[in-house]
């Protein structure tokens, strides 16, 4: 019963890409409504960890559980229907669909039947999208595309948002906008795993920071302690 509070957890996860061993027994536990900042330099296994948890990659060993149920290697649509929404690196909008269609096609009630996020509420959160409803997905700026992917993820009424490099390549002002929105979303009780390289921005939304080095978790604790320990921060993140 001790684990019932964990919404999604990875236990002793190993993963391979061909011959290369990318994850070496990773543990990650996210409680309901909690936000984790997942950090680490390039090639440390962050994206592989997320993909293993999302069913996009079958781990070679270890377990993925959602609300205590074993979901290791489950199909991605089952993970999504368990309340886990993915905002991938590179945005992943559907360029052949309009903004409205991108949002509407994803609409679904959440795991508990909740319909908190409707088209109207998403458009209220992202006014820029409201002005561009009829535009094709490929006509949007980078920032707008990112807002669209986040809005689309919210349309599935998830319990957890998983964001991989959500502000990568965006202008600083636009990135600030995204962080402000993420804080608002967090305050509605949706949990998140946020991968990003910007330590101060990540610590502004995250309850906990997890740092990965070479396929292992090297730090899992409060953002504050990592912030205060400059030497540790430099060793783990080179910042």
Binding site for another protein (CB under 8 A): 54, 56, 75-77, 79-81, 85-86, 88, 92, 94-97, 101-102, 104-108, 152-153, 156
Unique residue bearing structure tokens 């302690």: 225
* Nearest approach, Cβ of residue 5 and another protein (Å): 24
* Nearest approach, Cβ of residue 81 and another protein (Å): 5
The residue among 30 and 153 lying less far from another protein, judged by its C-beta, is 153
Q: For residue 163, give the nearest of 174, 152, 171 by alpha carbon.
A: 152
The residue among 24 and 121 lying less far from another protein, judged by its C-beta, is 121
**What six digits make up the tokens of 210?**
């997890």
Beta partners for residue 70, in sequence order: 65
* Nearest approach, Cβ of residue 164 and another protein (Å): 11
The residue among 108 and 227 lying less far from another protein, judged by its C-beta, is 108
Query: CA–CA separation, 86 vs 51, rounded Å?
Result: 10
User: Nearest 5 degrees, angle CA 91-CA 200-CA 24?
Assistant: 65
> What are the two backbone dihedrals, phi and then psi, of residue 209, each rounded to the nearest 5 degrees?
-115, 135
User: Nearest 5 degrees, angle CA 168-CA 180-CA 217?
Assistant: 55
* Nearest approach, Cβ of residue 174 and another protein (Å): 22
């Amino acid at each position: 019963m001790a684990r019932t509070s964990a919404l999604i957890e990875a236990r002793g996860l190993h993963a391979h890409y061909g011959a290369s061993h990318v994850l070496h027994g990773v543990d990650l536990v996210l409680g309901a409504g909690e936000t984790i900042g997942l950090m680490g330099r390039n090639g440390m296994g962050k994206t592989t960890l997320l993909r293993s948890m999302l069913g996009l990659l079958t781990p070679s060993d270890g377990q993925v559980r959602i609300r205590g149920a074993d979901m290791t290697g489950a199909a991605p649509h089952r993970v999504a229907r368990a309340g886990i929404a993915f905002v991938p690196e590179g945005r992943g909008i559907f360029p052949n669909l309009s903004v409205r269609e991108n949002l509407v096609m994803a609409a679904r009630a959440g795991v508990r039947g909740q319909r908190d996020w409707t088209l109207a509420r998403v458009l209220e959160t992202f006014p820029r999208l409201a002005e561009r409803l009829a535009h094709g997905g490929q006509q949007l700026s980078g920032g707008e595309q990112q807002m669209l992917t986040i809005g689309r993820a919210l349309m599935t009424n998830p319990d957890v948002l998983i964001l991989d490099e959500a502000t990568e390549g965006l202008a600083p002002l636009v990135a600030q906008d995204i962080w402000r929105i993420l804080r608002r979303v967090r305050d509605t009780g949706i949990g998140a795993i946020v991968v990003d390289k910007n330590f101060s921005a990540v610590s502004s939304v995250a309850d906990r920071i997890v740092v990965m080095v070479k396929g292992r978790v090297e730090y899992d604790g409060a953002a504050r302690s990592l912030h205060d320990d400059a030497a540790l921060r430099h060793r783990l993140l080179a910042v």
